[in-house]
C-alpha cells in the first residue's frame, strides 16, 4: 500500500566524508560512539551510484542521511559501509550482493538504476531489507522486471514528487528574470533522458510559465544512460550553449554533471539553480553569488527513515512517496542577495496551492 513520509530526519549537516568500515559485531544494542548510545544490532550498507561521494548532489545527500543516523545513534558507525559504483555503474548488482552476503540488514541503492538488480537479488536474501532511492523495483513484471512485489516484500521504493519542488524553483527563476534586463529566456539541463528527470523538467517549466507564460524555456539533456550524471565537461558545454542562446538562468537536474553548469555560469556571469542539496553551501567563492537557489530533494530524509524503521522493526516494503506536503522537497534561501522576501513570499503561496491541490503540477514535459 502506498505510504507517505511519516517522520523527518534532522536537518542536513555538513558532509563528513568518513569511510565507515564493515563490522561483524554481534554485541547487544546499547554501544556508544562519542558519548551517544547506538544500536549495535543494526548493520547498514549504502550502495552509491555513478559520481560517488563528492558529487555535491544526489550521492552526497544520501550519505548525509547515513551520517545523521550515525550521529543520532540509530546505527553504530562501525556497523556501516558504503560502496561506490564504477564509472559505468556496471558493478551495481555486485555491490548490493556483497553487502547482502556480509549480513547488512538494510541495503540502500542510491538511484533508480539499482531497481532491476535489487528486484532479482532481494528474493535470495529474504532476511535483509532493501531500499531503492527513486526506485521502481516493486513495479515487477509490469515494468519488465523478474519479480512482482509480493515476491519481494523486503524491498521499498523511496520516490519523490520532484515536479513539485521543481515548480517552485521554476517560479523563482521567472520572478528573478523579471528583475533582470531583457531576460525572456531560461534553461533546463537534464542528466539522463527518461521519466525521472522528465519530472524535473515538467515542474520547472510549469513554474516558470505560471509566473510568466511568455518566457522561453530551453532544454538540453546530457545523454541517455546513467553516465550522463557524471559528465561535467558536457554539462558545461550544453550550459554555455543555452547561455549563448539567451538563457539568463539555468536549472540543472544532472547530478555531478551540474558542476559544469556552475562553471559555465561563472564564465557567462549568469545565474544557475542547483538540485538535490543546497548547492550554494558547497559552491566555490566565485560561484556562490550566481546560484539563485536549489531544489532540495530530501534524499537524506529517505535514507534516515529507512535506517530508523529497520532498527525499530517497522520497515515495510512497497512504494513510499516523499512529497511537498510532508516536507520531502524544498528550495534553498541561502543566497539572501537574490532570494529576496518578495520572491520567498510568492513561492510560499505556490507551495500552499500545490499542497491544497489548487495547482496541479504536471509530471511529464
What CATH number is associated with residue 215?
3.40.50.2300
Number of domains in the chain: 2
Residue 244 lies in a domain: yes
Contacts of 258 (CB under 8 A, 6+ apart): 56, 57, 189, 232, 235, 252, 274, 275, 279
Q: How far apart are CA 183 and CA 190, in angstroms?
A: 21
The answer to the question of residue 68 being in a domain is yes
Q: Looking at residue 35, what is its pLDDT?
A: 58
Query: How does residue 34 score in pLDDT terms, banded at 50, 70 and 90?
Result: low
Beta carbons of 50 and 227 less than 8 angstroms apart? yes
Do 154 and 176 share a domain, yes or no?
no
> Please, what's the b/e burial string for 125-145 (b: 16 or more CB within 10 A of its CB; e: otherwise)?
beebbbbbbbbbbbbbeeeeb
Q: Are residues 111 and 239 in the same domain?
A: no
8, burial (CB in 10 Å: exposed 0-12, middle 13-18, buried 19+): middle
pLDDT for residue 30 = 45
> In terms of domains, do 222 and 317 share one?
no
CA 220/CA 89 separation, integer angstroms? 23
Residue pointed to by grid coordinates 538494510: 106
Average pLDDT over residues 150-179: 98
Q: Which residues does 235 contact at the CB level (< 8 Å), separation at least 6? A: 189, 222, 252, 254, 257, 258, 259, 260, 261, 264
Helices marked H in 178-316 — which ranges? 195-211, 232-244, 258-268, 299-312
28 falls in which pLDDT band (50, 70, 90)? very low
Q: Is 81 exposed, middle or buried (0-12, 13-18, 19+ CB in 10 A)?
A: buried
182 with 136, same domain: the answer is no
More confident residue, 305 or 58: 305
CA angle 297, 299, 302 (to 5 degrees): 125
On whether both 102 and 120 belong to a single domain, the answer is yes
pLDDT of residue 196: 94
Can you tell me the distance from the alpha carbon of 327 to that of 341, in angstroms, rounded to the nearest whole number?
Answer: 20
Q: What is the model's pLDDT at position 11?
A: 39
pLDDT grade for 6, boundaries at 50, 70 and 90: very low
Domain that includes residue 129, residue range? 3-160+299-322
Q: Output the nine-digit C-alpha cell for 103.
A: 549480513
Report whether pLDDT(206) > 60: yes
* 321 pLDDT more than 90: yes
> Do residue 216 and residue 344 come from a single domain?
yes
Residue 303 has pLDDT above 80, yes or no: yes
Co-location of 262 and 349 in the same domain: yes
Query: Which distant-in-sequence residues (6+ apart) come within 8 Å of 159 by Cβ?
Result: 134, 135, 319, 320, 321, 322
Q: How many CA atoms lie within 13 A of 116 on its CB side?
A: 8
pLDDT for res 3: 45
Averaged pLDDT for residues 318-345: 96
Q: Which residue has the higher pLDDT, 32 or 262?
A: 262
Asked if residue 361 belongs to a domain, the reply is no
Distances from the Cα of 292 to the Cαs of 253, 279, 280, 303, in angstroms?
15, 10, 8, 27
Any bridge partners for residue 322, and if so which? Answer: 160
Across all residues in the chain, what is the average pLDDT?
91
Contact 189, 259 (CB under 8 A): no
In the sheet that holds 291-297, the strands lie side by side as: 216-223, 185-192, 249-253, 271-276, 291-297, 329-331
pLDDT at 56: 83
Q: Does 115 share its domain with 241?
A: no
Distance between CA 313 and CA 142 in Å, rounded? 29
Confirm whether 56 is domain-assigned: yes
The whole-number pLDDT of residue 58 equals 87
- pLDDT of amino acid 50: 92
- Reply yes or no on whether the pLDDT at 360 is more than 70: yes
Q: Assign 343 a pLDDT band (cuts: 50, 70, 90).
A: very high
* Shared-domain flag, residues 86 and 123: yes
- 205 and 344 housed in the same domain: yes
Question: Is residue 362 one of the residues assigned to a domain?
Answer: no
> Could you tell me if residue 327 is inside a domain?
no
Query: What is the model's pLDDT at position 231?
Result: 96
Indicate if the pLDDT at residue 25 is higher than 50: no
Q: How far is CA 153 from CA 6, 213, 339, 358, in A?
A: 20, 45, 44, 35
Q: Is residue 91 part of a domain?
A: yes
Residue range 251-282, pLDDT digits in tens: 999 999 999 999 999 999 999 999 999 999 99
> Would you say residue 65 has pLDDT above 80?
yes
- The residue ranking higher by pLDDT, 57 or 158, is 158
Specify if 274 maps to a domain: yes
Band of pLDDT at residue 16, cut at 50, 70 and 90:
very low
Same domain, 130 and 170: no
Q: What is the pLDDT of residue 55?
A: 85
- Report yes or no on whether pTM surpasses 0.75: yes
Residues 217 and 228 in one domain: yes
Residue 13 has pLDDT above 50, yes or no: no
Amino acid at each position: 500500500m502506498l505510504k507517505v513520509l511519516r517522520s523527518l530526519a534532522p536537518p542536513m549537516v555538513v558532509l563528513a566524508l568518513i569511510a565507515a568500515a564493515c563490522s561483524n559485531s554481534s554485541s547487544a544494542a546499547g554501544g556508544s560512539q562519542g558519548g551517544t548510545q547506538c544500536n549495535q544490532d543494526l548493520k547498514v550498507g549504502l550502495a552509491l551510484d555513478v559520481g560517488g561521494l563528492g558529487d555535491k548532489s544526489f550521492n552526497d545527500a544520501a550519505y548525509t542521511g547515513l551520517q545523521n543516523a550515525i550521529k543520532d545513534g540509530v546505527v553504530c558507525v562501525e556497523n556501516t559501509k558504503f560502496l561506490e559504483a564504477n564509472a559505468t555503474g556496471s558493478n551495481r548488482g555486485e555491490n548490493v550482493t556483497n553487502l547482502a552476503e556480509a549480513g547488512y540488514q538494510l541495503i540502500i541503492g542510491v538511484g533508480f538504476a539499482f531497481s532491476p538488480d535489487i528486484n532479482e537479488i532481494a528474493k535470495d536474501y529474504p532476511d535483509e531489507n532493501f531500499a531503492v532511492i527513486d526506485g521502481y523495483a516493486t513495479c515487477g513484471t509490469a515494468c519488465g522486471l523478474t519479480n512482482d512485489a509480493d515476491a519481494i516484500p523486503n524491498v521499498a521504493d523511496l520516490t519523490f514528487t520532484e515536479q513539485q519542488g521543481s515548480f517552485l524553483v521554476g517560479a523563482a527563476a521567472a520572478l528573478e528574470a523579471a528583475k533582470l534586463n531583457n531576460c525572456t529566456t531560461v534553461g533546463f539541463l537534464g542528466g539522463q533522458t527518461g521519466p525521472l528527470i522528465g519530472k524535473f523538467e515538467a515542474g520547472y517549466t510549469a513554474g516558470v510559465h505560471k509566473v510568466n507564460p511568455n518566457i522561453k524555456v530551453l532544454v538540453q539533456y546530457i545523454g541517455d544512460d546513467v553516465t550522463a550524471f557524471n559528465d561535467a565537461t558536457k554539462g558545461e558545454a550544453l550550459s554555455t550553449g543555452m547561455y549563448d542562446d539567451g538563457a539568463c538562468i539555468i536549472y540543472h537536474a544532472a547530478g555531478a554533471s551540474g558542476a559544469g553548469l556552475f562553471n559555465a555560469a561563472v564564465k557567462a556571469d549568469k545565474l544557475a539553480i542547483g538540485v538535490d542539496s543546497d548547492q550554494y553551501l558547497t559552491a566555490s567563492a566565485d560561484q556562490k553569488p550566481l546560484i539563485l537557489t536549489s531544489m532540495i530533494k530530501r534524499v537524506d530524509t529517505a535514507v534516515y527513515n529507512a535506517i530508523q524503521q529497520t532498527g525499530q522493526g517497522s520497515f515495510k516494503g512497497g512504494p513510499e512517496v516523499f512529497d511537498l506536503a510532508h516536507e520531502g522537497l524544498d528550495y534553498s534561501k541561502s543566497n539572501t542577495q537574490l532570494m529576496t522576501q518578495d520572491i520567498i513570499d510568492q513561492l510560499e503561496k505556490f507551495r500552499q496551492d500545490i499542497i491544497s491541490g489548487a495547482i496541479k503540477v504536471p509530471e511529464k514535459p
